Amino acid sequence: MMADRLNQVVGQAIAVTLENMAFMEIAPVQADTEVPTSDNGMMARMLVLEPFQGEVQLAATTALLRNVIEVVHAFPDEAVVEAMLSDMLGELLNTIGGRLLTEYLPESQSYRLGLPEVGWDLPDCSEGQSRAWNLQIEDQGLVLTLAGDGFFAG
Amino acid sequence: MKRIVIADDSATARMVIRRCLEIIGLGEADMVEAPNGREALNRLKEEPTDLLVTDLNMPVMDGETLLKWVKGSPRLTDLPVVIVTSAGNPAKEVELTTIGAFAVLNKPISPATLLKTLEPLMQ
């Protein structure tokens, strides 16, 4: 029951964010979807500070980030630099993470998030259970991971 | 509106807000961007401004502190402040509107939401 709700909330948070920011639709991952790795993508982490300790992580291929930047900033692909990719991934994580907690926690429950940090080699601060959602946006992979028992309690 | 200050540490977020403002018919306004609250405050002191749109979570000076400075300044106290945040919830919204925020919107914002919020100020 709780897992169903988490599934729904995660899907909704990603869908609303991508749709509002870049008019893109998400789909379940396919066998030929390019999955983000340290070679072809970027990863960002953001701590959940209150009401529990946890972490939200988002990984995306640089091809996907370039596509989103092209829509949001109206920038030609060749003008996109790494700082823009990092900023885009951080803002996607920030928006998805906030949306997710707003929907998942009880309405009266306040929460506090850290600032997004981008990099594959960041130390893993999370403890307890974790779960990843693999999604596809325009043939490119996006992986959202939630870590921390608070996400799975109840 | 002639001048709008947009404060967010993410260039992407600032661009999304700018785009939404343009879509709802405020593209003629001079839009000034700032990466944190401190910088936004400096921009606000330069020239009369009609609207401040700010994020909450920012380095150097966060959006809540910026809101308190604006509302505490005799020169800026009447400036409408719209908070656009990923960390909003009903309790926080009440807290921010009590301090003086004109509205609190959750990210991702859409032009429709922004238009509905700003309509009273645009008339």
B93 → chain A, closest CA residue: A110
Portion 66-125 of A in contact with B at CB < 8 A: 69, 72-73, 84, 87-88, 90-91, 94-95, 97-99, 102, 105, 107-113, 115
Yes or no, beta carbons of B16 and A72 under 8 Å apart: yes
Quote ipTM for the complex.
Answer: 0.81
Residue B78: inside a domain: yes
Host domain of residue B99: 3-118
Fold exhibited by the domain A2-151: Chemotaxis protein chec (3.40.1550)
Residue B123: inside a domain: no
- Give the pLDDT confidence score for residue B60 in this predicted structure: 93
A56 Cβ under 8 Å from any chain B Cβ: no
> What pLDDT band is residue B86 in, cutting at 50, 70 and 90?
confident
Cα separation, A85 vs A44, whole angstroms: 11
B16 Cβ under 8 Å from any chain A Cβ: yes
Cα separation, B31 vs B105, whole angstroms: 19
Cβ contacts of B89 on chain A, cutoff 8 Å: 102, 105, 107-111
Residue B92: inside a domain: yes
Cα distances (Å, whole numbers) of residue A135 to A2, A18, A120: 20, 12, 19
Yes or no, beta carbons of A113 and B19 under 8 Å apart: no
- The number of folded domains in chain B is 1
Cα separation, A35 vs A143, whole angstroms: 8
Q: Are A13 and A100 in contact (CB under 8 A)?
A: yes
At B51-64, the pLDDT tens digits run 999 999 899 999 99
At A41-81, the pLDDT tens digits run 999 999 999 999 999 999 999 999 999 988 887 777 777 78
Residue B70: inside a domain: yes
- At B76 the three-state DSSP class reads coil
- Give the pLDDT confidence score for residue A21 in this predicted structure: 85
Portion 34-73 of B in contact with A at CB < 8 A: 57, 59
- pTM listed for this prediction: 0.87
